[in-house]
Chain A
Amino acid sequence: MSQKNKSIQEKTDELSKLVSWFDSEDFSLELALDKFKQAEDLATEIEKDLSTLKNEINIVKQRFDSEN
C-alpha cells in the first residue's frame, strides 16, 4: 500500500512501530538516522492529514416518519 492511501490509523500505527524500534533489541546506530528520518516524515504527514481532512456529512434521503 502506498503511503498516500494509508489511513491516519495505519500511519499512527506505523509511527508507533518506528518509535518502539528505538527501544528494541533490533536498534542499531547505523540504521537509527534513517529510521529517525522516516518517523519525522510520517509525523509531518499525519499532522498534514489531520489538519486538512474534513468530515463528509450526508443526510440520508430515506424518510422515517410513520406514514412511510
Chain B
Amino acid sequence: MEKSLNPVFSVSDFIAVANQTLEYAFPTVEIEGEVASFKVNQSKFVFFDIKDTGGSIGCFMTVWQMRVPIEDGMKVIISAVPKLTQWGKFSLTIKSIRPSGEGALKKSFELLKAKLDKEGLFAPERKRLLPRLPRHVAVISSTQAAGYVDFIKILNDRWGGIKVDVAHVQVQGSGAPDQIIKAIDYFNQQEQLPEVIVIVRGGGSADDLSTFNDELLVRAIAGSRVPTLLGVGHEIDESLSDMVADVRAATPSNAAQILVPDKQEIIRSVNNQIKALLPRILQIISQQKQIIRDNLMSAVNSVERSLNDQIWKINSLKNTLNQLNPEVILARGYALIRGKTSVGRVIEIETSKYIIGAEVKNVTEK
C-alpha cells in the first residue's frame, strides 16, 4: 500500500489546526444576516442562528456583550471569531452585535426604550439643572468631528473664562460606546469634578447615531454624578442617550448656546440696567420735589387758616369792645348823669352831643 503524503491528525489536533487556520484567515469577521432561534440560557449565555436565504450559522455570546435588544427576525451585523468546537460544530463567537437597517434599528430602539422607561430612567424628576455660568466643563467628542468644532466655536464666541477638558473619543462605530463610557467614568472620578459633562457629535446616518442607543452608554449617562448635556445629531434625531441626559440640545451648536449665555447679551443687559438707573434717580428726585412742594403748600395753607382765625377772633373782640364803648352808648341816645340826685342839686348830663347843667326838681323811687 502506497504511503500517503498527507499528515495524519488526531481529532483534537485537527480541530486545533482548523481553528489556527481560521484565526489566521479570519481573525475577526463581520457578517450581516437575520437572527433566528434566539435564546438565553441560565440568564448568561446567548445562542442564535444568523441566516440568509442561502444558509445559517450558529452564534454564541454572553448577555453582557449584548448592548442592544435582539430578537428573532431582526437584521443584524455581527463582529465574530469563527470557531470549530470540540464537537465538530462550526460556530461564530460574537464580539459585538448591532442592528442593521432602519427597521431593525427602530425595533431595537423601541424595545430598549420600553425597558429603560419601565426602570424610570427617563423620569423628569431625575433631571438636574445645569449651572448658570459653569467655570469647569468636560467635553466628550471626537476632536476631528465637525460637531465638536461647531461647539467650541460657539462656546468661545459666547463666553470666556471656562476651563474646558476634552476627552477625544470615537463617536461612531462599534468601539464608540465603550470609549464614551470610559470618558464619562474618567470625568466622574476626577478629584475636581467638572460642573457639566457635554457629549457632542454632528449629524449622521441612523447607523452612525445608533452608538447613542447603546444600553451601557445610556446607563453610564444616567449614572453620571456630574450633570450631562447631550448635543448629538440634528433636531430630528432623538436617541436614548438624549432622553436620559439631564439636558438635551438639538445640535452641538445648540449645546453651546444652552451651556453659556451670550456675553454680548449680558453686556447689553448690564449697560441697560445702568442706563435705567439715571431716569429712576431723576424720577425719585422729581417725586421728592413734588412732596416738598405739597408739604410747603400745606404749611402755607395751614398758617393762612390760622391767621384768618385769629383775625376773625380779634374782629369779634373788637366788636364786643366797641359795643361797650360809652361814646357808642351815648350815640344810641343814652345820657350820662354826674352829681348827687337830690332835689335842688345841680347835676351834669352828658349826651353824645352836649354836656348839660340841670337842677334836680324831684326824685321818685321806681
Contact = CB atoms under 8 A, between A and B. Distances in A.
Interface of A: 7-9, 12, 15-16, 19, 22-23, 27, 29, 32-33, 36, 39-40, 43, 46-47, 49-60, 62, 64-66
B167 A56 contact: no
Nearest to B273: A19
Interface stretch (B6-14, B64-72, B77-85, B175-183): B175-183
B35 interface: no
Nearest to A55: B162
Given A52-B160, A55-B156, A62 B274 contact: no
B175 A43 contact: no
B129 interface: no
Contacts of A46: 266-267, 270
Nearest to A52: B160
Contact of B160 (A43, A53, A62, A66): A53
Given A43-B270, A47-B270, A58-B164, 4 more contacts: A49-B161, A50-B266, A51-B263, A57-B164
A36 B277 CA distance: 7
A44 B277 CA distance: 15
A48 B175 CA distance: 45
Interface in B121-146: 132-133, 135, 143
Given A50-B266, A53-B160, A55-B160, A19 B277 contact: yes
Interface string B228-260: 000000000000000000000000000000000
B134 to A, nearest CB: 10
A36 B284 CA distance: 14
The 4 A-B residue pairs whose C-beta atoms are closest, nearest first, are A53-B160, A53-B161, A50-B263, A64-B179
B135 A12 contact: no
A65 B170 contact: yes
Nearest to B178: A66
Contacts of A9: 132-133
B262 to A, nearest CB: 10
B270 A58 contact: no
B216 interface: no
B175 A66 contact: yes
Nearest to B184: A64
Contacts of B285: 29
Contact of A27 (B135, B180, B183, B284): B284
A12 B270 contact: yes
Contacts of A53: 160-161
Contact of A60 (B155, B166, B175, B179): B166
Nearest to A35: B277
Contact of A12 (B266, B274, B278): B266
B169 interface: yes
B279 to A, nearest CB: 11
29 contacts: A7-B161, A15-B273, A22-B280, A29-B284, A29-B285, A32-B284, A36-B277, A36-B281, A43-B271, A46-B270, A47-B267, A47-B270, A50-B159, A50-B267, A52-B160, A53-B161, A54-B161, A55-B155, A55-B159, A55-B162, A55-B164, A56-B162, A56-B163, A57-B152, A59-B166, A60-B167, A62-B167, A64-B167, A65-B179
Nearest to A48: B267
A56 B139 CA distance: 12
Contacts of A58: 163-166
A47 B281 CA distance: 23
A59 B143 contact: yes
A2 B152 CA distance: 31
